[in-house]
Amino acid sequence: MDKSITVAVERTYQHPVYKKVVRRTKKVLAHDESNQCQIGDVVRIVESKPLSHRKRWRLQRIVSKVE
């Protein structure tokens, strides 16, 4: 997909009964206007108006580039 990136958003929380820290990952599509992201980049995304059926986020900035 042109001008689109798939971002893995990871969140952690403590299970209410077992007190174990659980990690969950969700994939979201984001809009990358200039096609500047590469696989492995750490990015910051922000909410936006719906851009397509599944795209409701846009790239704000690249936090760190992959080597």
Domains of the chain: 4-64 (2.40.50.140)
CB 30 within 8 A of CB 4: yes
Quickly state the pLDDT bin for 18 (edges 50, 70, 90). Answer: very high
pTM of the model: 0.83
Task: Give residue 51's pLDDT.
Answer: 97
What's phi and psi for 16, nearest 5 deg?
A: -65, -30
Quickly state the pLDDT bin for 1 (edges 50, 70, 90). Answer: confident
For 67, residues 6+ apart whose C-beta sits below 8 A from its C-beta are none
Look up residue 60 and give its two tokens. Answer: 């704000």
CB 64 within 8 A of CB 41: yes
C-alpha 17/C-alpha 5 separation (Å) is 36
